Chains A and B, each alone.
Chain A
Amino acid sequence: MEDAILIEKCKKGDMEAYERLVKKYMKKAYNVALYYTKNPTDAWDISQQGFVNAWKGMKRFDTKSPFFPWLYAIIKNEALTRFKKEKKEEEKKESGLPLKNIVSPEENLERKEKTRKLQKALSKLDKEKKEIIYLRHYADMSYKEISKALGLPEGTIMSRLYYARKALLREYMKDE
């Protein structure tokens, strides 16, 4: 079922429709929260709080707009507001991306070395480039969703992503 239909039902208080919407976006929401919190427990809580706030504000949501960028904004604000109060956490946020290696222990050292190099290359990128790479590749957001979420035209997103990937490639190839 399309988001717009589910959202219309949610506006009438249909909890089953909201359950379907939540299940569709929960992993993406968690991954976005994880980027801003760097902690799985906080990411779980903040993404859920994002869904609670979205439910409360559903009546004001414009059905013509895509749902996820709106949820993204709610989650990002929730994470930033919560961590603004805790300076130590703020410092933690500036550390590396919350990514883990999915190469199994049985796999060869070469593959492990590659992921280590990628982590190192990612850590060298500036905040803006890291964010766009993460949103596209790890939060699995489309160009349209990133464009709406960051409030930038799709062309700008494409261009930023191109230069972010180029910078990542440069850093990665330094170690080759």
Chain B
Amino acid sequence: MNREEELKNKYFDGNLSEEEKKELRRLTLKDNKTAKELKEMDKLKEVIDMLEPVNPEKEWEKYWSSLYNKLERGIGWIIFSIGAILTITFFGFQFIKELIRDPQIALYAKVGLIALILGLAILFVSVIRERLTLSKTDKYSKEVKR
């Protein structure tokens, strides 16, 4: 981008300094084409301002309150999950303890049930660990789909 183009860009943005305004004026005096282009730019700028993004269907005042509800729900889910994990762990432990102590249940049934519970627990921990690893990698900081 050459100097003239840079000045025209700043002109469009309305960011010209006094010195740059003089510089651009000198260019327009030298070349009619530049003067014509600036006039056309003025027309375009005026029309650009006659359009705006389509308005939201809801009121802006409701934006924060509905977002807050979503954030609160997220916190609620985290607390619920912690509670669920603690409860399941406690009762699971109690259940296994009782199962081992119970003389009426055959040994193979005890082994089978314990293996089932242990397998489920390992799968659960594995999924949680994977999720935690993924969440530690900020997918938005580097890679943006363009």
- Chain A positions within 8 Å of B, measured between CB atoms, are 15, 18-19, 22-23, 26-27, 30-31, 34-35, 40-41, 43-44, 48-49, 51-53, 55-57, 60-62, 70, 73-74, 76-77, 80, 98-103, 111, 114-115, 117-119, 137-139, 149-151, 155, 158-159, 161-162, 165, 168-169, 172-173
Contacts and interface: CB of A to CB of B under 8 A. Distances in A.
B60 A101 contact: no
Contacts of B40: 169, 173
B63 A48 contact: yes
Contact of B52 (A26, A138, A169): A138
B44 A99 contact: no
B67 A48 contact: yes
Contacts of B144: 73, 76-77, 149-151
Given A52-B71, A55-B71, A57-B140, A44 B58 contact: yes
A31 B94 CA distance: 55
B4 to A, nearest CB: 10
B122 interface: no
B71 to A, nearest CB: 6
B76 to A, nearest CB: 13
A34 B138 CA distance: 24
Nearest to B65: A19
Dominant secondary structure of chain A at its interface with chain B: helix
24 contacts: A22-B64, A30-B56, A48-B67, A48-B70, A52-B71, A62-B141, A77-B139, A98-B53, A99-B53, A100-B52, A102-B50, A102-B51, A115-B47, A115-B51, A118-B44, A138-B51, A138-B52, A149-B144, A151-B144, A151-B146, A155-B1, A162-B1, A162-B5, A165-B12
B32 interface: no
Contact of B57 (A41, A114, A119): A41
B74 interface: yes
Interface in B55-100: 55-58, 60, 63-64, 66-68, 70-71, 74
Contacts of B138: 57, 60-61
Nearest to A156: B1
B67 A51 contact: yes
A159 B8 CA distance: 11
A125 B60 CA distance: 31
A40 B54 contact: yes
B3 to A, nearest CB: 12
